[in-house]
Chain A
Amino acid sequence: MGILLQLLIVVGLSPLLTGMMRQIRARLEGRAGAGIGQPWRDLRKLMRKRPIAPHGTTEVFRIAPLVLVATCLVVAAAAPFVTTASVLDPVADLFAVVALLTLGTVALALAGIDTGTAFGGMGASREATIIALVEPTLLVAIFALSVPVGSTNLGAIVTSTLNDPAQVFSPVSLLAAVALIVVIVAETGRLPVDNPSTHLELTMVHEAMVLEYSGPDLAMVELASSMRLTVFLGLLANLFLPWGIATTGQPLLVAAAVLAFVVKVALLGACLAVGEVFLAKLRLFRVPELLAGSFVLGLLAVGASFFLA
């Protein structure tokens, strides 16, 4: 039951998250914006477009959006967003979740290469570089999070933070949180690593891989992007601020947990959107410096977890 609820929330509300972030951006830029529901309208319209099969692509091009959506669905079902006890608990390991999300990106990169155009190859090449450089920070930050708990199981980490709220304000947690924020920005392709609304191919990373998609495939890619953002923000929220999550199956607690999750993710998304308005995109070869800095923070977090324990 918890799984179904989490899936419904993530699938249903993630386009609204994207809409809300675009709306906040528009308002801060002095425009009226299209409204929160615009991404859903766009998805509905895309589903009704006639699909296009470009010459010279293989099954990888057709299957990649499905793999992307499937990985997001599995993570949305397994991660502790609404309840901590999940049937998919053996899958809810932080390493496994991160690897699943990487699988989705890899599928998209392969689809980009499969188009055989320079755009797809360039997007895939840049995305592969960013994945390679984000991995050390990500895994070291997970290491830092797991040391106080003794496990990388998501449910265990959330329960441990619930039982010991002071843990959140320790240096370990704060350093790991900052490192993870940089990682999330890199993995979801937001400013300052990548501009999701750019038209200039030379500045594209994620967009370049999907330039060839249209109709229902594009709808799946867009939905998966929103779901990835929701899932990452949800993980950030529940790993560091888990209050409100339901530890038992009582309907009242579960309803409160849904509300808490939605509020937390919305707040984090709003902060991200406000930050994006004031940031410019980094040059591609400055991104490794940013990621190296976050890696140092992650290493410090692990060191702190040992020396301050």
Chain B
Amino acid sequence: MQIRHVDAGSCNGCEVEIGAAFGPVYDAERYGARLVASPRHADALLVTGVVTRNMAAPLRRTFEAVPDPKLVVAVGDCARNCGVFAGAYGVAGAVRDVVPVDLEVPGCPPRPEAIVDAVRKLTGR
């Protein structure tokens, strides 16, 4: 399972947790997941942050660039339902308003264990 991370407008708190999840302590890679450099190489998108107006079209294009079959994971409260940024002027919506979401990871930011759990659901290991 190769995963491409997309930052749609986050405060980077979720990115720090994702970094920890793929690091030595929590090690999501042992369940067969790997972060890759291009959506063309990926099977799943890991989207963090509320979708800002500037990132709405790029996020949709990134989703279209991933070959089928594909999945989308919304990480963090901002990605799920705009979190603390709901109603702000630069916000276009939550991730599910732009691309179809298959899995959500709640938390602000979610703990690395929750992210690893979500990855295990994707890989089935």
- Specify which of B29, B30, B36, B67 is in contact with A215 (CB 8 Å cutoff): B67
Q: CA–CA, A158 to B40, complex, Å?
A: 43
Tell me how far the C-beta of A214 lies from the nearest C-beta in chain B, rounded to whole angstroms: 4
Binary CB contact string for chain B from 58 to 94 against chain A (1 if under 8 A, 0 otherwise): 0000000101110000000000000000000000000
Smallest Cβ distance from A290 to chain B, in angstroms? 24
- Smallest beta-carbon distance B66→chain A, Å: 8
Q: Verify if B38 is at the interface (C-beta below 8 Å from A).
A: yes
Range class of the A interface residue count: 20 to 34
Complex-state Cα separation, A184 to B34, whole angstroms: 26
Contact of A50 with B30 at beta-carbon distance under 8 Å, contacts A211-B37, A211-B38, A214-B40 already known: no
Question: With A42-B2, A214-B67 given, is the CB distance from A29 to B41 under 8 Å?
Answer: no
Does B41 contact A214, Cβ atoms closer than 8 Å? yes
Bin the interface of chain B by size: 20 to 34
Which of B30, B68, B69 is the one whose CB lies under 8 Å from A32?
B30
| Contact A199–B67 (Cβ < 8 Å) | no
Residue ID in chain B nearest A222 by CB atoms: B41
Residues of A within 8 A of B67 (CB): 49-52, 214-215
Q: Which A residues are CB-close (under 8 A) to B30?
A: 26, 31-35
Which residues of A have CB within 8 Å of B1? Answer: 45
Assess the A31–B40 pair: CB atoms within 8 A: no
Residues of A within 8 A of B35 (CB): 199
Partner pick for B32 among A34, A49, A51, A52, CB 8 A cutoff = A34
Q: Does A207 contact B (CB under 8 A)?
A: yes
How far is B27's CA from A32's CA once the two chains are assembled, in angstroms?
Answer: 7
Q: Is A129 an interface residue (CB 8 A)?
A: no
What are 25 contact pairs spanning A and B, CB under 8 A?
A: A26-B30, A31-B23, A31-B27, A31-B29, A31-B30, A32-B29, A32-B30, A33-B29, A34-B30, A34-B31, A34-B34, A35-B30, A41-B32, A42-B2, A45-B43, A49-B67, A49-B68, A50-B69, A198-B37, A204-B37, A211-B41, A212-B38, A212-B40, A213-B40, A214-B40
